[in-house]
Amino acid sequence: MRFLSYAWDWLKVPAQWHGSGGIPVRILEQLYYTGLSLLIAALIAIPLGILIGHTGRGAVLVVNLANAWRAIPTLGLLTLLAVTLGFSALAWLIPLVVLGIPPILVNTYEGIAGVEPELKDAARGMGMTSWQQVRKVEVPVAMPLIVLGLRTGAIFVVATATIAAYIGLGGLGRYIIDGLATDNYGEVAGGALFVVLLALAVQAIFVGVRRLAVPAGLRQQARQT
Amino acid sequence: MDWQQVPTLVWESAKLGILPALFGLIISVPLGILCARWKWFYPPVLSGASVLYAIPSLALFVVLIPYTGLTDTTVIIPLTLFSLCVLIPNVVDGLRSVPEPVRQAATAMGFGQWRRLAQVELPISVPIVIAGLRVAVVSSISLATLGQLIGVSSLGYLLIDGYQRAFLTEILVGGGLIIALAVVCDLLLVLVRRMLTPWRPPRRRREQPEAVGDPVPALAGGTP
């Protein structure tokens, strides 16, 4: 594995682990960008997805958004904002949030819209108000998809934050971009290794979140099908 | 900006977008057939695909540099792997969408296993497989522009060059062309589907995003 030996040669130098450009700092930066963007994206996308899924209004918009979103070139959005806004917090925050919203929105919408009509009827028959139906029935039933949407969104935001190093953002992408610029493949490989590990860790965390967030009754059902 | 290089860049982007989806298709049809036949085979394949999907493309590109250098191959391999995440589930769903009576009718008409697969089951799967192919091509075109960061030429050149010169028009033209290319390829695939499935009513039913089951995320197609 030539890649790993390059990465190892770079990693074992103690200097990489200290100071403002050191690996621990870069990891924290990456987590900060990712966490903040994902939080904002979720605060926008989850309520909107619940609203659209519950009322059925605006569903066409969600479907089209999903299709358009795949075509957006990440690099285009980043460079566009970097040139128009200069390097500011908004120049990276806007693309990260914008790219994080669609997977969360679409999955939340799908989850809420996919709740069996029988369940909703039963909830109404029990005398629940519209708000209670959403909170006690629809959201818990949609939880697996909402968590899946958050996971996809998180994966996207981690990846986009890496690329945002190109327009000057810190984080682990710095190593890849700087290493490429200075022909230092060891640095590129070290950075890529950490990006991969971080992406896999995020994936694993959401598998855990899913276990916590999904009601026990649904887990039973999922196992049977 | 230099307009003369635009046709070359469009061609390179088209190549980097279409080849991964085609290679992905060649790999996922046999794999999908196996997954549809042996149920135990499908979950591990899906888990593999979902782990792969989590890895950012830029990281995968640079992992491949020592092996394939700064060539198209370095971009095509990761995008092919990403396309499997959409194509395999769609091939499986397509094959599973064949109604049981149709299958039995084919058998009753004396079709063997292989002939039934080639002449009945695969043709009926075409719409779902092409839906996956559309996702794969559109995502690949968009993701291939990231190859420019390691020096693999595509329409991404206009984005990078525009950024370095703080030239907004070039970035807008680059972004516009990338989206336009994706839309054109998408429409071409819709045409291909109509030609391959003449029995379907010509008016397109509104396509819902694929039902999204764990573990392959909705809208899969690759991570930037």
Element (H, E) at A14: none
Report yes or no on B218 lying in a domain.
no
Name the pTM for this structure.
Answer: 0.87
> Which chain B residues are Cβ-neighbours of A202 within 8 angstroms?
54
Peptide bond before B215: cis, by omega within 30 degrees of 0?
Answer: yes
Task: Pull the structure tokens for residue B15.
Answer: 């190549």
Report yes or no on B222 lying in a domain.
no
State how far residue A63 is from chain B, nearest Cα, in angstroms: 6
Question: Rounded distance, CA A152 to CA A102, Å?
Answer: 10
State how far residue A72 is from chain B, nearest Cα, in angstroms: 6
Domain range for B180: 3-196
Q: Do residues B168 and B44 lie in contact, with contact meaning Cβ atoms separated by under 8 Å?
A: no
Residues 19-48 of A with CB under 8 A from B: none
- Integer angstrom CA distances of residue B195 from B182, B191, B201, B215: 20, 6, 12, 33
Question: Rounded distance, CA B157 to CA B10, Å?
Answer: 10
Q: What is the pLDDT of residues B93-114, one digit of tens each?
A: 999 989 999 999 999 999 998 9
Q: Give A24-224's CATH code, choosing from 1.10.3720.10, 3.40.50.720, 1.10.10.10, 3.40.50.2300.
A: 1.10.3720.10
> pLDDT category, A196, cuts 50, 70, 90?
very high
Report yes or no on B206 lying in a domain.
no
User: Residue B145's domain is classified under what CATH number?
Assistant: 1.10.3720.10
Q: What is the pLDDT of residues B145-168, one digit of tens each?
A: 999 999 999 999 999 999 999 999
Amino acid code (one letter) for A189:
A
Report yes or no on B214 lying in a domain.
no
> Which chain A residues are Cβ-neighbours of B55 within 8 angstroms?
196, 199-200
State how far residue B48 is from chain A, nearest Cα, in angstroms: 12
Q: Is A83 on the interface with B (CB under 8 A)?
A: yes
Amino acid code (one letter) for B216:
V
Nearest CB to A144; choose among B62, B67, B214:
B214
Cβ contact A110–B146 (<8 Å): no
For residues B98-127, b (16+ Cβ closer than 10 Å) or e, as one string? beeeeeeebeeeebeeeebbeebbbebbbb
Q: Do residues B125 and B94 lie in contact, with contact meaning Cβ atoms separated by under 8 Å?
A: yes
- Considering its fold, how many domains does chain B have in total? 1
Q: What is the pLDDT of residues B37-64, one digit of tens each?
A: 888 999 999 888 888 888 899 999 999 9
Look-up of token digits 């981690």: A158
